[in-house]
Amino acid sequence: MSELPARLLDVGFRGTTGAIASYWVDGFLIDPGPASCVDKLLAELPGEPHTLLVTHIHLDHAGAAGTLCRLFPGLRVHVHERGLPHLADPSRLLASAERLYGPNLGNLFGRTEPVPADRLVALAGGERIDRFRVEYVPGHASHHVAYFDTVSGAAFIGDACGVRVTPDPVVVAPTPPPDIDVEAWLRSLEAVERLRPSALCLTHFGIYSDVERHLVAMRASLGDLVALARSCGPDEFERWLRARLAEALDAPSLRRLEAVAPLDQLFLGLERYLRKRAEVKDSRP
């Protein structure tokens, strides 16, 4: 790709590079990252944003939204309708995150401020926001959207197409709790494919133009992780996955990946998904 479709802003999560990206396109800011990284984000901004596009409300993607609204009084925040209440009042979101991260929550993600209700714009999918088309892509989260740039052809995809921290197509499906839905995720990948994006702009991490190869690797990862979670417990799951990734990635790349996709959380999300599927199946007449 001769010209990048967006300006990548590395927010320096946990003092490192290559873990969380925010994207700038002509005053649009896509996924600002966590509140703990606001200072680094502000230092990277080329100007004042007028619109914040949130792919989903997880703290590593949208935790800084409330802080940015306080700093930029004209900022409007677009988010899926299911996630909108949790940006206006993040108490339940924080309680859920605390179950995963415990006392490290504040150190990792900072102080998550609410977004004023009058600054929020609800999305369902199918909307057009200036140059961006909104695509509903659940699977990683039920409130996940992607933003397809009709000018550059790039898709700002959040976590819907996985985590990838190197140019090599080592892609990991991020499957933390609470609402992984594998069937919906596979349909979302088909929706992304139909868009025929020129590039995938991943929050974790970077801009990749080998879209077809990336989507093949993403589907393979999701299938492998589901099969593994069905066949073993959490310890064996983590050992197997860590060993496989260590063969494919150097140590710094693996640390970056684990910073944004903790391997123990991947099992927990799939375990919950498989349990819910079994409960639905058992309840059918």
- Please tell me the distance from the alpha carbon of residue 102 to that of residue 233, in angstroms, as a whole number: 22
Residue ranges and CATH numbers for the domains of the chain are: 7-283 (3.60.15.10)
Confidence of residue 171 (pLDDT cuts 50, 70, 90): very high
Confidence of residue 37 (pLDDT cuts 50, 70, 90): very high
State the pLDDT at residue 193.
Answer: 97
State the pLDDT at residue 279.
Answer: 63
pLDDT digits (tens, 9 = 90+) for 245-268: 999 999 999 999 999 999 999 999
Share of the chain above pLDDT 70, in %: 97
Angle at 248 between CA 266 and CA 22, to 5 degrees: 60
Confidence of residue 283 (pLDDT cuts 50, 70, 90): very low
- Please tell me the distance from the alpha carbon of residue 33 to that of residue 39, in angstroms, as a whole number: 11
- For residue 36, pLDDT beyond 50: yes
- For residue 238, pLDDT beyond 90: yes
Strands 145-149, 120-123: pairing is unpaired
- Please tell me the distance from the alpha carbon of residue 61 to that of residue 76, in angstroms, as a whole number: 16
- For residue 167, pLDDT beyond 60: yes
Q: Indicate the pTM of the whole model.
A: 0.94
State the pLDDT at residue 1.
Answer: 47
Confidence of residue 278 (pLDDT cuts 50, 70, 90): confident
pLDDT digits (tens, 9 = 90+) for 46-97: 999 999 999 999 999 999 999 999 999 999 999 999 999 999 999 999 999 9
How far apart, in Å, are the Cα atoms of 252 and each of 17, 88, 118? 10, 36, 42
State the pLDDT at residue 284.
Answer: 47
